[in-house]
Amino acid sequence: MAVAAMRESSMCDDVDRALVEALRLRKPAAAERLVAAYRSTAHRWAQRVTGQAADAEEVAQDALWTVILKIDTFQGNAAFRSWLYRIVANAAYQKVRAPCSAGHDVIGRGSSVRSRTERSSAPDRTTDGPDGSDR
């Protein structure tokens, strides 16, 4: 039984090594192979942290994209699967820690977040000049 597990582990390592090499060489099908091999695993790991299927899907996609972009930083000191797990876990924890938007709308990146009440009662300073006219 232990021999079979070792063979399976060795086969996974070989497949992962080939996948890492293909990603590093920027082979067109490598990203598709990564997604096919690890999408459901990444989603499962992410859902354990986020508790939400939709958030987990977003986290898994972001993590797999990060792997593609950062593959050259993978040193190979640990298994590829371990490195991927850390990326998924970090992305999931970031998602959970992100400020909740309950009762608030996000206007856009870099802008302030104000409640609907604040926006409706406060003058729009981006279009009103000091005298109330458009700038």
Domains delineated in the chain: 2-98 (1.10.1740.10), 103-135 (no CATH)
d(CA 118, CA 76): 51
Q: Per-residue pLDDT for 28 more than 80?
A: yes
Distance, CA of 117 to CA of 120 (rounded, Å): 5
Task: Enter the pTM of the model.
Answer: 0.66
Task: Convert the pLDDT of each residue in 121-131 to its tens digit.
Answer: 444 444 444 45
The reported pLDDT for the residue numbered 100 is: 63
pLDDT beyond 50 at 108 = no
What does the alpha-carbon distance between residue 41 and residue 47 come to, in Å, rounded to a whole number? Answer: 10
pLDDT value of residue 9: 47
